[in-house]
Amino acid sequence: MKLKSKPEIRYALWQAYKRKCAICGKPIEYTNLHVDHILAESLEKNSEELNKVLKKYKLTNNFDINSLYNLRPACSYCNIQKSNHESPKEITYRLLRKAKNKIKDIERGIKQFKEDAAYALKVEAMRGLVANGELKIEEYIDQVNNFIADYGQDYIEIDNKLNNFRLIKQHSVMLEGNLPTLNDPEGNCLFTFNSFYIRGVQISLSHKEILQVLYKGVKTSFKLLMRPYIVDKLDENNFLIQLGGCRFNLNASETNHLCNVIDKFIYEYLNALKKIEKTLQSEEFIPVNDEKLKYKLIKINKNIWKLMLEFAQEHDNYHGEGYWHIFDSSGRNMLKIYNKLPTDRYNSGFHCFIHSLVEDSHSWEPSNDVWLVWWYIGEDEEFGIRTYWTVQQTYNWLTKEFIPFVLYNFNKPFKKEKVSFEEYREQNNIQDVFYRESNRFYNRHKIKTSDDLLHLIESLQLHYSVTNQIFFDQEAIHKIYDSLVYILDICPSPDYYYTCRKLDFKKTESRKDLKAQILEKKKSEKYGKIYGGSLDILFRTLFINIELSIQTINEDEVEKITKLLEPFIEEYNMSKLVEVYSR
């Protein structure tokens, strides 16, 4: 039997490539899996042509066309379309390197497949003996229990440009996961259990399922039932679990193992997403739904967008060498920032792609605006003004340089009056011509003014007002009460009536008495579940008293309050990260 036809090879290739087609990148059902040769299998029949190809790609003479070094998974459509056609030389080099780097993953998958197959055969053989009366049911159970191996407690990390793999084991649960990377921002994971009832069962979760199912309730005790995959508590020692399309029982110890494995993985998974965002400087921008590495920059009137495209046509890089001749005007409805030769400002090549997006073409009231979208289409991970611009750099260039200059360029009255570009920019508020989505990410160190602080508090209040319940430790919960006490100390005229009514306090107009009641309520707060409605009220009260202090509060006081609220800002940012990437 050829290597590609062996079930363990097919399974291991499928797992190593994240259950995706290596050609189009789309998920493949196992039943639709084809094993494709990078260098055509037909070369085996033509030794002369084979030697030419091996020499071309600097491969040894004993290179086996049918080895793991030349195999990859593909969907039926891509495999048929490719046939015996060879990819361009640079792409084939990259594919062969990728196949070589996947060998350890494939070998690990082969081992897992064989272990699971051996277990299934063993159990099936024992079932036959029980059916024939040759083995008592008690002996059968004992043998199965003895056969179940403890995975142990282990953590394996493989992190390189092609793979960001994690293997996490905790006794009865093993998780194999691929974290998001810049070139493949959607990871996945595979759970394997050795529980008596579901030994060897494997459950895979996609990127969206990881964020939607595994994040909520992270770091909470499984006994609190705050994790969506813990469906119910059957009794003191048994819990009902739902993962993927599977529902099953685990005992308390096994449930604890599952939660510990998930907490470790989801922490790494979210950090991988944050690492991508930090590289792209995209923390403050909204990714486009169902699109990889596309971010909404600004919403702008269609007529202004047309002027921008017209300007790019006039300033194609091949039509001149002026300051603004930095466009490749080929194609339609897209800005391509490009220069064919290096300059004092930029290296040669493409620096950014921006295209437009209609927000909702099916709306009853179609908009006259379009979103401008940043699009990463490269493979290099080097970003900067001289190379490929980050999302933030593109936004700055659009709003501070390009759009103002386009409006100035097409505004004839200003030209007649001989107003300079710098004067035009000072006299006109360019912010008025575009809209930008905000409230997605807050860096507390950038919150300097009372207006910034009010904006933050309002966002936190709205966020928690629609949160059912959440977990915070006691120190975090106490800090929001400390922030209330602090603002009451510096507020010229606190709103006693509103504060007492919202917090259900005894009516008072004494600052000292009100602070005493807040501190007393603080003492009664314990760590654990806290309902969003309670946080909503606390933030509303804080907002009102900060609003009354807006004329007197200084930058140091703003810094003090934001520092106290840091746990809530961090949770808000993480929730928004999960929300925008799980759509």
pLDDT tens digit sequence for 527-569: 778 888 999 999 999 999 999 999 899 999 999 999 999 999 9
Assess whether pLDDT exceeds 80 at residue 577: yes
- In 3D space, the residue among 553, 471, 483, 469 whose CA is nearest the CA of residue 518 turns out to be 483
The pTM of this model reads 0.77
Average pLDDT score, the chain = 87
The pLDDT value recorded for residue 364 is: 59
Assess whether pLDDT exceeds 80 at residue 169: yes
User: What is the average per-residue pLDDT within 209-220?
Assistant: 94
The pLDDT value recorded for residue 1 is: 66
The pLDDT value recorded for residue 263 is: 96
Q: Model confidence at 365, in pLDDT bands (50, 70, 90)? A: low
Q: Which residues is 192 bridged to in the sheet? A: 174, 202
Helix (H, G, I), strand (E, B) or coil at 111: helix
Helix (H, G, I), strand (E, B) or coil at 365: coil
Strands in 230-235's sheet, in edge-to-edge order, are 230-235, 238-243, 246-251
The CA distances from residue 476 to 219, 279, 568, in Å, are: 15, 30, 8
Exposure on the CB side of residue 207, measured as CA atoms within 13 A: 25
Report how far residue 461's alpha carbon sits from residue 317's, in angstroms, rounded to the nearest whole number.
49
Assess whether pLDDT exceeds 70 at residue 482: yes
Task: Tell me the percentage of the chain whose pLDDT exceeds 70.
Answer: 91
- In 3D space, the residue among 471, 462, 464, 475 whose CA is nearest the CA of residue 216 turns out to be 471
Assess whether pLDDT exceeds 60 at residue 155: yes
The pLDDT value recorded for residue 52 is: 87
DSSP assignment string, 407-451: HHHH-HHHHHTT--HHHHHHHS-GGGGEE---SS---GGG--SHH
Contact between 172 and 151 under an 8 Å Cβ cutoff? The reply is yes
The pLDDT value recorded for residue 7 is: 85
Q: Model confidence at 51, in pLDDT bands (50, 70, 90)? A: confident
**CA angle 246-247-248, nearest 5°?**
120
Q: Which residues is 33 bridged to in the sheet? A: 75
> Which has the minimum average pLDDT: 82-91, 242-251, 295-304, 572-581?
82-91
Single-letter amino acid, residue 170: Q
